[in-house]
Amino acid sequence: MQVIDTLAEVTRHQDRDLIERSLVKTLAEIVDCLELRLYRIVRMPPEIELLLVDQVTPRQKVIAALDGCERPVPDRLCASIIEALESGEIVTNLEAQPCVIYPIEDNQGGIQAVLVQFVVRVSFDDQRMTHGLLRIYANYLALIDESQRDKLTSLLNRETLDDTIARLMTHRHIHGREKPNKRRQDANSHWLGLLDIDHFKRINDSCGHLFGDEVLILVANLMRDTLREEDLIFRFGGEEFVVIIDTPSQQLAWMVFERLRKTIENHPFPQIGRVTASIGIVEIANQAGPAMVIGNADKALYHAKNTGRNRVEVYEELVAQGECQGSDTPRTGTIDLF
C-alpha cells in the first residue's frame, strides 16, 4: 500500500518542479537513508554543471530551502556522479560517507537528472525500490513532456506558454519584494521574443505546404542550435515562435535575438534559398498578465514588419521613442470589486 500511495503522490502533479519535490519527499519516507539530493543536469561532462532542485534529510525532517541557483557539486561526489552520467549505471561510493548515485534518463535516452542517496549501509532492496520508482518518474515526465510539445517541431507548444510566463512573473514579484540591501543570487531579467517568418504565405503558395513545414522544422532546429539549452522555445502558431531568455540587460537581450535573426538569414534553405524573420522583444516584468507580455512583444513585432522586416525591435525602446503606445500597468496592492 505504501508503494501505491507513493505512486499516487508522485503522479498527481503535472508541473515538473512539483513532481521532483514530491518524488524526493516520498522516497525519503520509504527508503532508509540519511539524506537525498536531486540534481538536474545543466551541462554534461567534461564540464559538469548540476542544479540542486531538492534536498531532504529524513531523520531530521529538514528540507533545504533552495533558490534555484547552480551550486558546485562537492568534490567527493564529482567523480562518482561523472561515472554515473557517463555509464548510465547506478554507482555506489563507499568512502567516508557512503552514497548511491542513480542516473535518471529522459525520453531520448540521455541523462536528465541524478539522485544522490546518502546511506548508513547499502541495501539491495532499497536500491531496487528507488530504481523502480525513478523509472516510473522518468516515464511519467516523458508523457507530460510529449503532451507539452508541438507535433511538427517538437518545441514547447502554445498551451504551456501562459503558465511559463505567469511563473516567471510570480518569481520576479516575490524577489522584487526583497529588502534593498539583500543581495540577490540571480539579477538577470527574463526577455520574451516573438519571432515571425517573413513572407511565409509566399513560401507556402509558391513551393507548397510540405516545403513550408520543412522551413518551420529547420527554423526550429536553428533556434535550438543558436540559443542556450536553458532558453525556452515555443511554437506559438503558424509561422510564429516565442523564445524566453534570461540576461542582465536590454542590450544583451537584443544581441541574442539579433544573432538568432542573422543565423536564420544566413542559412541556405533547400529549394527555398533565403528566409528571414522579424522579431519583437519585451522584458517580462510587472505587466498585468501573460496576455499583456505577448501583446507588447506583438506590438514590437508589428513595428518590425512595418519598417522593412528582417529586424529586431524592442518594445521598451519603441515606447521611449514614441513609436509605440505603451500599455498601462495596473498598480499592485489593491483589489477592486464590481
Of the candidates 310, 253, 247, the residue with the CA atom closest to the CA atom of residue 281: 253
- Choosing from 35, 239, 283, 313, the catalytic residue is 239
- The pLDDT of residue 329 is 45
- The pLDDT of residue 15 is 65
Kindly report the average pLDDT of the chain as a whole number. Answer: 81
- The pLDDT of residue 248 is 92
Q: Is the pLDDT of residue 20 over 80?
A: no
Task: Summarize pLDDT for 80-113 with one digit per residue, the tens.
Answer: 888 888 888 999 988 767 889 999 887 777 888 8
Q: Within this chain, do residues 15 and 123 fall inside the same structural domain, yes or no?
A: yes
- Selected residue with higher pLDDT from 98 and 67: 98
Residue 265's pLDDT band, with cuts at 50, 70 and 90, is very high
Residue 328 lies in a domain: no
Task: Summarize pLDDT for 130-149 with one digit per residue, the tens.
Answer: 888 888 878 887 777 777 78
Q: Is the pLDDT of residue 186 over 90?
A: no
Phi and psi torsions of 299, nearest 5°: -65, -40
Residue 153 lies in a domain: no
Q: Is the pLDDT of residue 297 over 60?
A: yes
239 is catalytic: yes
Task: Summarize pLDDT for 145-165 with one digit per residue, the tens.
Answer: 777 788 899 899 998 899 899
Cα 84 to chain centroid, rounded? 24
Q: Within this chain, do residues 169 and 315 fall inside the same structural domain, yes or no?
A: yes
Domain residues for the domain of 143 are 2-147
SS (H, E, C) 102-142: EEEECCCCCEEEEEEEECCCCCHHHHHHHHHHHHHHHHHHH
Any idea which residue has 548540476 for its cell? 50
Q: Mean pLDDT highest for which of 76-80, 103-107, 306-310?
A: 306-310
Strand order in the sheet with 277-284: 232-237, 240-247, 189-197, 277-284, 312-314
Q: How far apart are CA 127 and CA 105, in angstroms?
A: 16
Residue 257 belongs to domain with CATH number: 3.30.70.270
- Number of domains into which the chain is organized: 2
Any idea which residue has 516520498 for its cell? 26
Residue 139 belongs to domain with CATH number: 3.30.450.40
Q: What is the gyration radius of the CA atoms in the chain, in angstroms?
A: 23
Q: What is the pTM of this model?
A: 0.66
Q: Within this chain, do residues 256 and 225 fall inside the same structural domain, yes or no?
A: yes
- Collapsing DSSP to helix, strand or coil, 189 comes out as strand
- The pLDDT of residue 203 is 93
Any idea which residue has 503558395 for its cell? 205
